[in-house]
Amino acid sequence: MLSLYDLTVEQRTEPFGLDERHPAFSWKLRSEKKNVIQASYRVLVMDHAETVWDSGVVKSAKSIFVTCEADLKACTSYTWQVTVSDGTETAEACSSFEIGLMNGSVFKEHAGWITHSFPREETACPVFTKTFCAGRQVRKARLYATALGIYEAQLNGKPVTDGRGESYFAPGWTNYKKRLQYQTYPVELNEGLNELSFTVGKGWYCGKLGFDPTPNLYGDQTALLAMLMIDYADGTKEVIGTDDTWQVCTGTVRFSEIYDGETQDTLSETHPCTTAVSYEYGFDTIVAQENEPVRCLTKLQPQRTFTTPAGELVYDFGQNLTGWTEVTVTGSAGQKIVLHHAESLDENGNFYTGNLSFAKAQDVYILNGRKQSLRPHFTFHGFRYIKVEGLKEGQSAEFTACHLSTDLVQTGTFECSDKRVNRLQQNIQWSQRDNYLDIPTDCPQRSERLGWTGDATAYTPTAAFNENIYPFMKKWLRDLISEQTPQTGMPQVVPNIMGDGQSGAAFWGDAATAVPWTIYRTYGDCRILADQFESMKIWVDFITSKCGENGLWQSGFQYGDWLGLDAETNGLSEPRKGATDDYFAANACYLRSLQITADTARLLGKTEEEEHYRSLYDQVLAAFREEYVTKTGRLVCETQTAMVLALHFNLAEEKHRARIASMLKTNIEAHKTHLVTGFIGTPYACSVLTECGMHELAGKLLLQEQNPGWLYEVNMGATTIWERWDSILPDGRFNPANMNSLNHYAYGSIGTWLYTKLAGLEILEPGYKKFSVHPRFFKGIEWVKLSYESVYGLIRTEWKCQDGKIRLEIEVPANTSAVLTLPEKEETIELGSGIYVYEYDTETSLHLDRYSMEMPLRLMMEHPVGKAMMNQYMPEMAENKLIEYVINEPITALLAYAPQAQPLYEMIIAAMNASEQ
């Protein structure tokens, strides 16, 4: 039977307070029949019984982003119904949405900005209250609110929610001078007396921000703007807006800063109220919230409580996360409890806060003598461990970690036969959620937490698989536009708190082209390209304006291959950059951005602009080859990243590809099968290898357990992705570099390779309307399962190669098609929707023993079984001081000195492998 599900408006389910005059509808078809394609659809939009838009029956397969052509009214709830046919059956479903104010300046008619007149030195957060009487029966009530700062609202003592649970950090982070979001909440009033209250923290608006934490970046005073619109059952209306009849006092939150934490004094609940003060602030920048809000997604209990060697009482939640800790405790009145947050212990097992820069990450509670459950309101921390001070001997207290993130729908899952790779995938997903807190941040723990654009360029393709990031990125891309100027091209962080002193840097600025392109390809919404086209142009035109006579970008500041490991450590080079020539990388990225801009112009039908950017592309490419590729096909910069970029972005002539690919292989082998790439090279390295026929080598890099490598982190106990390949050194010490977070997602970009090359799912037509599945094998992974909830429906692919059989199962959602390449078969198969299973014989075995003669001696010496056997059978070797010179050599290399030891090594390796089974 044909049915419909997942009806969304602007990719959100039953959204409230949408300010799109012509919102776009999407739905998904489900059917157990094969080859189902939508033949026609009809959408009706209704305001109660009145039809405001009828698309009519449209013969089309379009089932995503169908835009409503009627002009919708502000503050109105609509239902919408869609009926589709696949040519034989029909299906119908309906859903709803509500339009917001449509124009933020409507606030002005009913409400005014209010603030407090606390003395300057007062750090407590203001609590604004209004008591009012709803004298008649209420039909519908909506609260619209925003603040300069961040707010939490309560109605009659209960948190105001959007109907789906509590949300935090409203109104979110934007450049408040240009865009200030308001939120819409459905509320239920008491018939009679009601009390509405708002606590407002400094948040991003006037709290301290940046690596040199600076307050008041947007203004120096918190303020509130709210209006409650009440429709009574008798047809009358009333609006309660913020004005100078509201009261303001200080409450229990005595201090709150995002980086430093929060202090609550629960003994100081009642403070004398004064009248709120009107505040001069405009209304013109107010826009509806576009993104899903931040919520608590999960709660974790401590897995272990212990006292460290330094005598600290520590709770371990077993997972590095972004959020805060809830404490439930009965204390004595006035008792002070302090919670410190950290991502890690140090090498001695003590609580480690050395990587928090200036962030204090500390919450302080003064208890009131009764049983209390407390949590902070206007701060968040990046932590796995808390250190608790102030508990009395024997006093019991419960601590729960609340994981906070923008509430996005999880769309992707990936699992395979190697549990270490599965932990890596979990780490990727954790770091994504941890850093998607209203904006895409770099890290959640130190005094930074900024919207670094380069991190977004590196990671967005992986993110778009894991969660439906459409609403999140739509909002952030509007932030990005709001921060661009032709003079600087692109800021390095969005929202831009660094001012216009810093202009666009390659790869970081490419977020302007690469992110919207990924969103378009993943979700199939061309409107995002139309919205971002001018922004793309600003960025590439900025670069063009910086190019010299040779047509290349070779001046100005660059981050380069950030955190790459191949730079000389001679004190002359920037120690945080890899060895790749800054401008080689910059021009490679420039070419990619030009290509996206030209492709976007084509899709938007902007022929002249397309021609302009295409011919510019050709000129820059020719100049690039002249400057950076020799006549015989060598690159003047032969780092891994340079070769990866040349191959990934097709920068060298076709005839030179093979040579560059082989140089890349040689380079990786010279690094003993390690990547030394930074932010620019890493996202594409494994994909390039697979595309150049070196999938097995890409697989070895994935499974590399020695530093640097993804599984090195996993083996070191990482529960999120680290900022540096070696954030924790092999001896357990923290990398002493001052910039060292354990929760950065850039290197999580390997996720894209897991999904597109190992599971083999790639987009052929935007939105996965058509996709390919091409699983590829390498030794060590015997099965893979992937699922992805696309805008058309669930895509699933599972392969297994075990016991002489290959089995592949693939699910193609209705209204899409797929091209399947079966492993070890030549032909490709075109598939319509449905579930398909293939099973056939093979001689291939993908089984791989974990330990082999290729492993470095160090691994054997560190493995419990290896170590014990070495002590037993070759004690002279274990104690030899010279061993440190060969400890990182593969065992095969050691055989040159002592071939007679081969059987002994083989025996130890066999025992090590047996111990893992």
Supply the residues annotated as catalytic: 448, 723
Q: How far is the CB of 559 from ligand BGC (least distance, A)?
A: 5
Q: What span, in angstroms and rounded, lies between the C-alpha atoms of 477 and 470?
A: 10
Q: Which residue has the tokens 């026609």?
A: 40
In contact, 379 and 260? CB cutoff 8 Å = yes
- Rounding to the nearest 10 degrees, give the CA dihedral for residues 457, 462, 468, 472: -20
| DSSP line for 594-662 | HHHHHHHHHHTT-HHHHHHHHHHHHHHHHHHHHHHB-TTS-BSS-SHHHHHHHHHTT-S-HHHHHHHHH
- Closest CB to ligand BGC among 111 and 443? 443
What is the helix (H) or strand (E) element at residue 224, kind and residue range? strand 223-232
What is the helix (H) or strand (E) element at residue 226, kind and residue range? strand 223-232
Q: Is the dihedral of CA 690, 696, 698, 703 positive or negative?
A: positive
At 403, list the tokens: 């994981």
Q: What span, in angstroms and rounded, lies between the C-alpha atoms of 123 and 251?
A: 11
- Judging by beta carbons within 10 Å of its beta carbon (0-12, 13-18, 19+), is residue 836 exposed, middle or buried? middle
- Closest CB to ligand BGC among 149 and 454? 454
Q: How far is the CB of 209 from ligand BGC (least distance, A)?
A: 13
Q: How far is the CB of 748 from ligand BGC (least distance, A)?
A: 12
Q: What span, in angstroms and rounded, lies between the C-alpha atoms of 284 and 675?
A: 50
What is the helix (H) or strand (E) element at residue 584, kind and residue range? helix 582-603
- Closest CB to ligand BGC among 296 and 443? 443
Q: How far is the CB of 489 from ligand BGC (least distance, A)?
A: 16
Query: Residue 665 to residues 555, 673, 690, 742, 749: CA-CA distances in angstroms?
Result: 31, 9, 12, 30, 21
- Closest CB to ligand BGC among 386 and 721? 721
Q: What span, in angstroms and rounded, lies between the C-alpha atoms of 755 and 759?
A: 5
Q: How far is the CB of 385 from ligand BGC (least distance, A)?
A: 21
- Closest CB to ligand BGC among 494 and 620? 494
> Which residues have C-beta within 8 Å of that of residue 224, sequence separation ≥ 6?
113, 114, 115, 126, 128, 145, 146, 147, 148, 151, 198, 200, 242, 276
Q: How far is the CB of 28 from ligand BGC (least distance, A)?
A: 36
In contact, 697 and 689? CB cutoff 8 Å = yes
Q: How far is the CB of 455 from ligand BGC (least distance, A)?
A: 5
Q: How far is the CB of 448 from ligand BGC (least distance, A)?
A: 6
Q: How far is the CB of 674 from ligand BGC (least distance, A)?
A: 21
Strand 436-437 to strand 304-307: parallel, antiparallel, or no bridges (unpaired)? unpaired
> Which residues have C-beta within 8 Å of that of residue 199, sequence separation ≥ 6?
125, 126, 127, 128, 151, 152, 251, 253, 377
Q: What span, in angstroms and rounded, lies between the C-alpha atoms of 822 and 838?
A: 9
Q: How far is the CB of 499 from ligand BGC (least distance, A)?
A: 15
**By C-alpha distance, which of 489, 494, 431 is closest to 463?**
431
At 35, list the tokens: 């080859």
Q: Cis peptide leading into 708, omega within 30 of 0?
A: yes
Q: How far is the CB of 230 from ligand BGC (least distance, A)?
A: 46
Query: Residue 12 to residues 18, 102, 123, 329, 590: CA-CA distances in angstroms?
Result: 10, 17, 38, 38, 34
Q: What span, in angstroms and rounded, lies between the C-alpha atoms of 589 and 595?
A: 10
Q: For 772, what's the count of Cα atoms within 13 Å in the CB-facing half-sphere? A: 12
Q: How far is Cα of residue 376 from the mean position of the Cα atoms in its chain?
A: 23
- Closest CB to ligand BGC among 446 and 800? 446
- Closest CB to ligand BGC among 374 and 514? 514
Instruction: State the distance between the two ends of the chain, measured CA to CA, in whole angstroms.
Output: 46
Q: How far is the CB of 217 from ligand BGC (least distance, A)?
A: 17
At 223, list the tokens: 């303020």
- Closest CB to ligand BGC among 341 and 744? 744
Q: What span, in angstroms and rounded, lies between the C-alpha atoms of 770 and 517?
A: 17
**By C-alpha distance, which of 594, 564, 599, 600 is closest to 579?**
564
- Closest CB to ligand BGC among 8 and 677? 677
Q: What span, in angstroms and rounded, lies between the C-alpha atoms of 431 and 719?
A: 9
- Closest CB to ligand BGC among 127 and 739? 739
For 623, list phi and psi in degrees, rounded to 5.
-65, -40
Contact residues for ligand BGC, defined by CB under 6 A: 442-443, 448, 452, 454-455, 559, 562, 739, 744
- Closest CB to ligand BGC among 116 and 577? 577
- Closest CB to ligand BGC among 111 and 742? 742
Q: How far is the CB of 427 from ligand BGC (least distance, A)?
A: 17
